[in-house]
Amino acid sequence: MAMTDVLSAEDIKKAVGAFSAAESFNYKKFFEMVGLKKKSPEDVKKVFHILDKDRSGFIEEEELKFVLKGFTPDGRDLSDKETKALLAAGDKDGDGKIGADGMCLEE
């Protein structure tokens, strides 16, 4: 399954482009721009599984660094600071990884 099976290619391009500068990533704005906040829980889980590259059932810090590339190959790598902020937002139980229920979509 490709990300464009769930989300609009145009929305993905705009969202990834909006955060192309180093240290500019804002996960709340990104998930809103890419259209994820309007998707059903089932679609959010589909996106989660696409981002879970090692199929562990979790998105670990190493996978988060490349989250924008998960949406499009043109995406940049997140900085360590951005990666840690995203992990902190989604890691509900403090185990250092994000489960499918922790996709940081709530306000």
Helix/strand/coil for 78 = coil
Q: Is 40 known to sit in a ligand binding site?
A: no
Q: Is 58 known to sit in a ligand binding site?
A: yes
Q: Is 8 known to sit in a ligand binding site?
A: no
Owner of token pair 């590259």: 53
Is residue 2 a contact partner of residue 71, using CB atoms and an 8 Å limit?
no
Q: Is 80 known to sit in a ligand binding site?
A: no
Q: Is 5 known to sit in a ligand binding site?
A: no
Q: Is 10 known to sit in a ligand binding site?
A: no
Token reading at 49:
């599984």
Is residue 82 a contact partner of residue 71, using CB atoms and an 8 Å limit?
no
Q: Is 54 known to sit in a ligand binding site?
A: yes
Token reading at 70:
């998960």
Token reading at 20:
């192309």
Q: Is 30 known to sit in a ligand binding site?
A: no
Q: Is 91 known to sit in a ligand binding site?
A: yes
Please enumerate, by residue number, every residue annotated as part of a binding site.
Answer: 52, 54, 56, 58, 63, 91, 93, 95, 97
Please enumerate, by residue number, every residue annotated as part of a binding site for Ca(2+).
Answer: 52, 54, 56, 58, 63, 91, 93, 95, 97
